[in-house]
Amino acid sequence: MRSPDTEPWADKMQFDLLRQAGPGKRLELACQLSALAWNAARSAVDRYYPEETEDQRDLRFLSAIYGKELAEKFIAHRQRVLGPRNETLSR
């Protein structure tokens, strides 16, 4: 599927390069893009809720992805193992 903001020749070149890269390199690129998106979304939560503790922001973020029940279980487990993360962002 072609991106609406990319010229057709650039789109073709991108797909040709991806095909030439092979499956291992494509997997590496997919993981890098996934990490970039994850980190950008998590940073947005930090910016919008600086008054919350890190655990509260983690719960908010993970709830949006995995649902509140799983997020709460994860945070509770992490707190049992590592203790609470109470840091808030300085304004």
Task: Give residue 3's pLDDT.
Answer: 74
From CA 79, how far away is CA 64, in angstroms rounded?
Answer: 20
Q: Are 58 and 72 in contact (CB under 8 A)?
A: no
C-alpha R_g of the chain: 19
Q: Which amino acid is at 74?
A: F
Task: Give residue 90's pLDDT.
Answer: 59
From CA 57, how far away is CA 42, in angstroms rounded?
Answer: 8
pTM of this prediction? Answer: 0.69
Task: Give residue 89's pLDDT.
Answer: 67
Question: How would you write the pLDDT of the chain (91 residues) with one tens digit per residue?
Answer: 667 888 889 888 988 998 999 899 999 999 999 999 999 999 999 999 999 999 999 999 999 999 999 999 999 999 999 988 877 765 5
Task: Give residue 35's pLDDT.
Answer: 97
